[in-house]
Amino acid sequence: MDFLEAAVTVLQEERASLHWTVIQDLALKRGYLDPFTQGDIRKHLLAALARGAKSGRLVKESTGVYALSE
């Protein structure tokens, strides 16, 4: 699963806006991201969240807080 897919999946499951650190923690705990096979989780997740917000798939509600676009 790629980083944006992992973030979207977590946000769909939680049905709430979340800070990127919470998205990262839940994605790791649920096995959507693997720190042993995917390098620099923080960097790639933040880049994916920014891409998602730019494309309209996600909404950046405040500093570091993301939600699904409606």
Specify the number of domains making up the chain.
1
Q: Is residue 70 predicted with pLDDT exceeding 90? A: no
Mean pLDDT of 31-44: 95
Range of the domain at 56: 3-68
The DSSP bridge pattern shows strands 65-68 and 18-19 to be antiparallel
Q: Residue 37's pLDDT band (boundaries 50, 70, 90)?
A: very high
Instruction: Report the length, in residues, of the chain.
Output: 70
**Read out DSSP for the chain?**
--HHHHHHHHHHHHTS-EEHHHHHHHHHHTTSS-TTTSS-HHHHHHHHHHHHHHHTSEEEEETTEEEE--
Q: Residue 49's pLDDT band (boundaries 50, 70, 90)?
A: very high
pTM for the structure as a whole: 0.94
Summarised one tens digit per residue, pLDDT across range 9-25 is 999 999 999 999 999 99
